Amino acid sequence: MTTSQNVSRITRFDGTNYLAWRNCVYTELLCEDLTEFVDTKPTAEAKKKTYGTEKKPLTWTKADGRARRIIVDNLSDSLLHYAPTDASAYEIWRKLKVTYNRSSYLQHAYLRRKLSNLHYDGKSDMSNFFVNSMILSLKFDRAVERLASSKISRLL
């Protein structure tokens, strides 16, 4: 008996770095032509369509199952409760987005405050300051990355 392994090069999502994970998984869904299953809520009409190729047609259930597999295979075991067996790929994707996508005004304000609290003391060379303060540099990089990825930052 063989055990199932995550053959994807995507790091399993453990609740951190959601935006990077989402982009990687979405790209994998795109390569498999399955983005429709996470982008739009399934309708009765969509469930009647045939997906895949002429040589290998897929029902909606099979195609949605493939999209679900890509998402679930890239989730940490501790987050599998977001993917119950009766949920569609769209529902799982939506639950993760609602929970982990931090683009609210409150989160934006929090990140701005966190960024403004990083202070350079002015006593040393700026490059030495960042080299000698790796922890501060890492915090700065993460705060800037999260702020830049916030949809709200594009509005201000």
Last residue of a domain, one of 100, 127, 145: 100
- Residue pair 10/74 in contact (Cβ under 8 Å)? The answer is yes
Same domain, 24 and 96: yes
The 10s digit of each residue's pLDDT in 32-44 is 999 999 999 999 9
In the predicted model, is pLDDT for residue 118 greater than 80? no
Residue 124 forms part of a structural domain: yes
Cross-strand pairs, 52: 57
CA–CA distance, 15 with 74 (Å, rounded to integer): 12
The 10s digit of each residue's pLDDT in 44-88 is 998 998 888 788 889 999 999 999 999 999 999 999 999 999 999
CA–CA distance, 72 with 153 (Å, rounded to integer): 30
- Rg over alpha carbons for the chain, rounded to the nearest Å, is 20
- Residue pair 150/103 in contact (Cβ under 8 Å)? The answer is yes
Chain mean pLDDT for the chain: 79
CA–CA distance, 78 with 13 (Å, rounded to integer): 9
C-alpha 68: how far from chain center: 14
Three-class SS of residue 150?
A: coil
Who wins on pLDDT, 13 or 135? Answer: 13
pLDDT of 140: 65
Same domain, 132 and 74: no
Q: Is the dihedral of CA 99, 100, 106, 110 positive or negative?
A: positive
Same domain, 40 and 57: yes
Domain around 76: 18-100
Residue 95 forms part of a structural domain: yes
Three-class SS of residue 143?
A: helix
pTM (predicted TM-score):
0.64
